[in-house]
Each structure stands twice: as structure tokens, then as C-alpha cells.
Amino acid sequence: MNEFTIPYVRTQECEVSFFEEIFPMFEAMREEFVRRGGMVVVDEHVHELYREKIERTFAGLPICAVQAGEKSKSKETLFEIVEKMAAAGLERRSVLVGLGGGVVCDLAGLAASLYMRGVEYILAPTTLLAQADAGIGGKTAVNFYGTKNLIGSFYAPSKVIVGEEFLSTLKKRELRCGLGEIIKCGVLYPPFFETLYESRAKLFDIEFLKGLVPHVAEFKAEIVKNDPFDRRGAREKLNLGHTTAHAIEEELGLSHGESVLCGLWIESRIARQNFRCDELFLDRLETLCEAALEGKKWEEAKGSSLFSVVRDKKNSDGKVCMIVPVAAGKTERLTLSLARYQEAVLKALEE
């Protein structure tokens, strides 16, 4: 029997750049967008806040405004975008622009990967969460069948253009959402964790956060370079705190970033139950999470069964799989039965 190998290559370069203001950058690209065909996906909040700039900058291009929030990460919204791309006559050489938070980044990326088997897209993340995490890495997805990010693809944008201007308009809760992912990266990179811990009184200071974003984005990008499709184990570390976070997000309706903060706190306690850990480091991690949550505990989690944790993509054979922190820059993979996991969560909350 004859056989041969086809060396498929799915990676591409993604240029990430940081500016005080991004609209002049897009204005310079407008003629190219009009010539090639393009469309802008934006969330309604961003569209309302920057309507004049958006309509001037992207004059001549169709604009698809989607409802802000996690509920828009659905197959219905996804195909609404794809339908508008088709109605606008977009072609294989066309460009899709995603202007918004993590939800828009996911939706625009997945729509671009599906339309005509893949068109170019550019992201302009507008939230702290999206600038530090969701806009970096090429993961795209929508929620389906009660499971977060069940339908998705690895499809990188050609450019990620980050604008500092957007952070000044964010409410405190939106800043907290980004802090969950930022602190997670700090656990993985000890010098960065030290900066966060020593500056924990400034966690909501806009100028402080503006200085953090490029470093967090670059750190995540380095991990992604070594494991672009989440197959080699390097990228698995970025799931730190996320197993419990996804369960909390699904059951209790907290934002993703708030859920990550809770997940980190709880899973640091679970780590202590199962591994020999650096107790001082985990104490500091929990203090940092509490500072970002401004003292808020998750008493409501005690009333939740967290059954949705069994639908998390990281799990296998009906068991709960977690990446837990054990020391500065060090994590462990922990697999528990659902019953043992729930016992561990309850114990963590009672300590």
C-alpha cells in the first residue's frame, strides 16, 4: 500500500501592538478595508460610547453591533454575524474587525474562521480582560449545550491592536474581571507576582494597569508560541483556577474574571489538601485575590453544587481535572472524582 504525509501548517504570525489611541491606526487602514471588503463586529456598549469615532473611522463598512455580555457567546449570535458577512458580500480576501471585550474577540474570531473556510480578522480588545488575555492566543469559541466554549477553533488574528484609551472608561467590576487573568499570569511568572503583591493597593489604578497589560500579553504570547493548539502541555498552565471558575460562572452567574479570582482562591486551598505547597506563597496569592475582590468572599458558592464542573472540557472519564498552584511559578495537575472534588471545595470554603 502506498502512503504519504501532507505537512499541514495552521499557524500564522500575529502582530500585537499597543497605542494610546487606536482609531487613527484603523483610519489609516480604511481604504484597504473598503477595497478588500470588510465588516466591523462591535459590542453595543462600545458602540454607544464611541459611536462617532467608530462611524467616522469605519465609514463605508457595515457595522454589526452585538449585545454585550456572555449571553451573546451563542450559536445564534455567531450565525447572525456570519449572515451579515454574507449579506455584505465579503470574500476570501476580506477582513473582519472585532472591536470589544472577550465576547466579541471570541465571536469575531470564530466567525472569521468559519466564513469561506477562513478570512483574515483583526482584534481591537477594549476591556482589561480582553487586552491581557482573551485577545491573545487565537482561541475562539461560543458556549453550547450548557458548556462554556464547547464549539470553537484555534484561529489567530493577523493583528491585535491594543488601545489604552478604553481602560479609562471601564467600571470597577470590569477592571476586576481583568485582574483575575492578570493574577493568574502572576502565579506562573514569579517576578510579575511580586510586582502585583507589593502593589496590591494599586490594583484598580488605571495608570498602573496600563503598564501591566503589555507585560501580561507578552507573557501569554510566549506560552502560546510553544503550544499554539494546546496539545503539548505548556498551554495547560493557563487553565490555572479555571476548572472551578467555569463552574462558578455557570452556576452563580459571576463574571469570568470574578470567577477566576474565586477559582484561584478555592483551588489554592485544594492544592494544600493534596500537595506539599509553599504555604507562604499561597497565603499571599489568597490575599491578592481577596484584594482584587475587595474582601468579597464567595459564601454563595457554599449553596452551589457546582455540578456544571463535570462538563468542563479539561475533564475526562467523568473526573474533574484541575491545574492548581503549589508554589511561585509552579503548578500541578490534579484529578479528582466529582464527589471528592465537591468535598474539597466545601472544605476549602470552611477553612
Angle at 200 between CA 298 and CA 183, to 5 degrees: 65
Where along the chain do the CATH 1.20.1090.10 domains lie?
Answer: 172-350
Q: What is the pLDDT of residue 119?
A: 97
Beta-carbon contacts of 283 under 8 Å, excluding residues fewer than 6 positions away, are none
Coil, helix or strand at residue 342? helix
Task: Give the span between the Cα atoms of 324 and 266, in whole angstroms.
Answer: 10
Q: Which pTM was predicted? A: 0.90
Q: What is the pLDDT of residue 278?
A: 98
**Domain 15-169 fold:** Rossmann fold (3.40.50)
Place of cell 498551554: 235
Instruction: Please report, in tens digits, the pLDDT of each residue of the chain (351 residues total).
Output: 688 788 766 657 899 999 999 999 999 999 999 999 999 999 999 999 999 999 999 999 999 999 999 999 999 999 999 999 999 999 999 999 999 999 999 999 999 999 999 999 999 999 999 999 989 999 999 999 988 899 999 999 999 999 999 999 999 999 999 999 999 999 999 999 999 999 999 999 999 999 999 999 999 999 998 888 888 788 899 999 999 988 888 777 788 899 999 999 999 999 999 999 999 999 999 999 999 998 655 555 444 555 555 455 455 567 889 999 999 999 999 999 988 998 898 888 887
DSSP class per residue in 239-291: GTTHHHHHHHHHHH---HHHHHHHHHHHHHHHHHHHS---HHHHHHHHHHHHH
Cα 164 to Cα 17, 57, 106, 120, 292: the distances in Å are 11, 17, 20, 24, 21
Place of cell 507576582: 193
Q: Give the chain's end-to-end CA distance (angstroms, integer).
A: 63
Where along the chain do the CATH 3.40.50.1970 domains lie?
Answer: 15-169
Task: Give the span between the Cα atoms of 351 and 337, in whole angstroms.
Answer: 21
Q: What CATH homologous superfamily does 172-350 map to?
A: Dehydroquinate synthase-like - alpha domain (1.20.1090.10)
